Structure 1
Amino acid sequence: MHFPTLDKDQRRILHLLRRSGALSRSALAAELEMSATALTRLSRDLLALGLIIEGHENEGHGRGRPAVPLRLAPGGGYAVGATAHRGLLDIALVDFTGAIIATHHEASDPITPKQFARRVRSLTHELVDRHGLLGQRMLGIGVAVPGPSLSAAGDRWSVVDVLPDWRDVPLREIFATEFGWPLWIENDANAAAIAEFYLGGLIRDFSTVVVLLLGFGIGAGVIVDGRLMRGQFGVAGEIGCLFPGHLPRPSPLDLLGMLRAAGCDLPSVADIDGDAKAQAATVSAWLDRAAGQLQTVCNTAFAWIDPGAIILAGTLPSAILKGLAERLQRVELVTTVCERRPPIGISSLEGSPITLGAALLPIHSLSVSS
């Protein structure tokens, strides 16, 4: 059972409930500037589709309530997100509200797109069965890839070379053939931005945000007025081009290389620990340099886009991300009206924002008016 076609006003209602939580019909009508009659008709249709329900969360069903609010229905459907990294395959399962139902992480040898799709399909069936979702509405699957799109259509991608046979192949065709579900493919930084926007709670306060993803390399996901900004050719936010690979970069792999050069025998980025005595001096030096490099990125993003938040996210330990944010807040950042400066913070999410954001791609598509 796939998702029904929704009109613009139905999407507006769902988006407002996702942003604000439970609201009465009168509050919805006022916020959306529509008549009570129109709101009643639209909400009746959404109730019939099982996408919204009445009442506050955990509320009893006593009588005499003056106004029964509407809210998103967790059982309105579920969505899946999947990513492949160096030596790891990640899956997340979320309900219609965006709440996490389950996650799965497993070690993986280098995997081709077809092998990836088959394994994800098998794991999805297992998770759906385990969590009693058989027969419920499947909203779709999102796949996040590490690399920029090679076309505005997003069918071929310049995927990093640690994933064999992924670069410049028809990923959309391969995945669609294996999955048979509604499919979204997105750059990993854009997926991370979606996760921060919804699960990180940014949607409640901001319509425009920038997420700097320190992952395999470095990239940015930009949301403007609630929409992902992709640019003319689908590569908006590819800030890695500002830091050529043969030079020092503000990326986790660059930090890992510095630590190895300093004599720390670390297998991967996951083993970086800024509190470890043998690593502390190198980590501190990298943070000082990375803050200087990202200063221009933050200043220009702030001047061009006016985001309500600039969030640092990625694979580095939160203590290192915090140290980077603190250094950025101390450097000479630009100001605009009312002495506003780039609003820099770090991710509060547990788990991979990339995989969680991939799972939210089908849900995000329902929040964007046609």
Structure 2
Amino acid sequence: MESVGLGRGSNSAQLRRYNERLVLQRLRRAGEASKADLARAADLTNTAIGAIIQKLEDQSLIVSVGKRHDGGRGQPATMLRLNPKGAYGIGVRLDRRSIETILIDFAGHPIARRAYDIVLPRPEEALAMVERDIRELLSLLDRPARERFAGVGLALPYNLGSWLGRLDLPPDTFGLWDHVDFGAWLQEATGLPVFSENDGNAAAIAELFYGVGRRMDDFLYLFLGPAIGGGVVTGGDYLRGSHGNAGDVAVIPVGPSRLASAPKPPQGGELLITRASLNALARHLLAAGVPVVSPLDAEAAFVAQHPAVGEWLDDAVDALTPAIWTAMALLDVPVVVLDADIDAGLVDALIGRLAASLAAHAPEARRPPRLVHGSFGRDAGAIGAASLPMFYSFSPRASILMRSNDERGLRETVPG
């Protein structure tokens, strides 16, 4: 993503804001760089880069880390780096079987968290739990750090009351979630700006902002939790879609499972969510006599090389292969990033089997995408949520040049 000149609908203030964020992105990707390095990378003049660096230093977003001598004439160059203490964000991840709230710094490092492995309770109960946890985490920041607090990110699956039969979950509690705006509730309860996204997009944003996105601008992101979620990154930005559902791979139609543990497909046919998910793995392990109370039980079964895990892997790959090739026909991205709520080698095993299957079923004149292990594992959802205020406050999105308030893409109630 290059520095952009003024165009229709833009003004000089918006351009300056865009270039400031572009410099932050270049530093995030490089780790550290000199003023000259940043001027070249962002295609800015020495005068422009000097003014930007001064402002970012005044805002405590970047710091000097010493001198570098490149062997040429002249004074050694001052090296710059993002300041981890430059901003803070809190992320709230609500999943059908867990609640997690996490505090991170500007570098994406977790500082503290609160987590519950429970079936998601009624919205009022969840709000009380999350509000308490947010206030406890905020109390860990001193006054200067509180002044650099970017906001709260909320990540949760859309349509929580749907597909409950496929996920073996009770309808009574989850049906209530489809009738509340939990982000608005949370913002009113805390008085803090809340940035809401579905959990797949949030995890993809974490990869874009803090993970593989530091090296690549285009990828499909897949995350295996109780269900399967996803997100799409193109041109260094994420694709949201008109309803926020771009990358919602869970609803891709697939063939029926060959596992005896799989439920009978409904009349409308089978979906990827039923086969390539940790809920499907837990169901198959239970049918094999291995109860799964928490994700760690499924992880232990993989470590023990229980044959049911291998059977599920083969079935998941059988479903993922045509789903990914369908996505590639539409997106044409070179990389698929895969991550999961459990690991201990499970993700790498899935990647190995899936790579072979994608190659074996490649359409004529097409190469399979490269498969990459995600950066955050079970923390992806929570860090993804906490990344939302960081991403919308500090990422060089092209929408900055089109309007003065690009943060309004998530919630109309979030201050610009």
Q: How does 1:351-370 map to 2 (within 5 A)?
A: 351-365=378-392, 366-369=394-397, 370=400
**Aligned amino acid, residue 195 of structure 1:** A
Amino acid at match of 2:230: A
With structure 1 as the length reference, what TM-score do the two structures score? 0.84
Change (3 A) 1:24 1:335: farther
The residue number in structure 2 matching 1:203 is 213
Question: Which residue among 18, 24, 34 is the counterpart of 1:24?
Answer: 34
Determine the C-alpha separation between the residues in 2 that align with 1:212 and 1:284: 20
Q: Partners in 2 of 1:166 and 1:350 — Cα distance? A: 26
Q: Counterpart amino acid of 1:305? A: L
| Residue aligning to 1:184 | 195
Alignment match of 2:349 (pick from 293, 301, 323): 323
After TM superposition, the structure 1 = structure 2 runs for residues 93-172 of structure 1, keeping only pairs within 5 Å, are 93-108=103-118, 110-130=120-140, 132=142, 135-147=146-158, 163=174, 165-172=176-183
1:70 aligns with 2:96: no
Contact map agreement 2:221 2:336 (CA 8 A) in 1: yes
Out of 342-351 and 243-252, give the one that drifted further.
243-252
Q: Which moved more, 1:85-94 or 1:217-226?
A: 85-94
Is the contact made by 1:114 and 1:178 (CA closer than 8 Å) also made in structure 2? no
- Return the match for 1:234 from 220, 241, 244: 244
Corresponding residue SS for 1:104: strand
Measured after TM superposition, the shift of residue 213 of structure 1 is: 1.3
- 1:80/1:276 CA distance change after superposition, 3 Å: closer
Structure 2: distance between partners of 1:88 and 1:56: 44
Aligned partner letter, 1:364: F
Change (3 A) 1:242 1:340: closer
Distance 1:67 1:323 in 2: 45
Q: Secondary structure at the match of 2:336?
A: strand
**Matching residue of 2:374:** 347
CA deviations on 1:217-276 (whole Å, 9 max, x unpaired) are 122111111211111222111121124764452211112212222232333443113446
Does 1:334 find its partner at 2:385? no
Counterpart among 9, 16, 26 of residue 19 in structure 2: 9
Residue number in structure 2 paired with 1:41: 51
* Partner Cα distance (1:158, 1:24) in 2: 51
Q: 1:360 to 1:235 in 2, by over 3 A?
A: same
Please list every run of 5 or more consecutive structure 1 residues that lacks an aligned counterpart in the other structure.
58-63, 150-156
Range 100-109 or range 66-75, more displaced: 100-109
Q: Distance in 2 between matches of 1:315 and 1:73?
A: 29
Gap change, CA 1:65 and 1:98, over 3 Å in 2: farther
| Equivalent of 2:288 in 248, 262, 266 | 262
Could you tell me whether the CA contact under 8 Å between 1:81 and 1:355 is conserved in 2? yes
> How far apart, CA to CA, are the structure 2 residues paired with 1:177 and 1:144?
17
Alignment gaps of 5+ in structure 2: 1-13, 68-73, 165-170, 255-264, 401-416
For 2:106 and 2:208, locate their aligned partners in 1 and report how far apart those are by CA, in whole Å.
15
Distance 2:245 2:216 in 1: 23
Mapped to 2, the partners of 1:142 and 1:222 lie a distance apart of 19
Matched letter for residue 138 of structure 1 = F
Give the structure-2-normalised TM-score.
Answer: 0.75
Q: Name which of structure 1's ranges 42-51 and 358-367 shifts more when overlaid on structure 2.
A: 42-51
1:223 alignment counterpart: 233
Q: How many residues of Structure 1 are paired with residues of Structure 2 in the alignment?
A: 350
Partner of residue 300, structure 1: 326
CA gap of 1:256–1:106, structure 2 versus 1, over 3 A, is closer
Aligned to 1:61: none
Aligned position for 2:404: none
**Whose helix fraction is larger, Structure 1's or Structure 2's?**
2
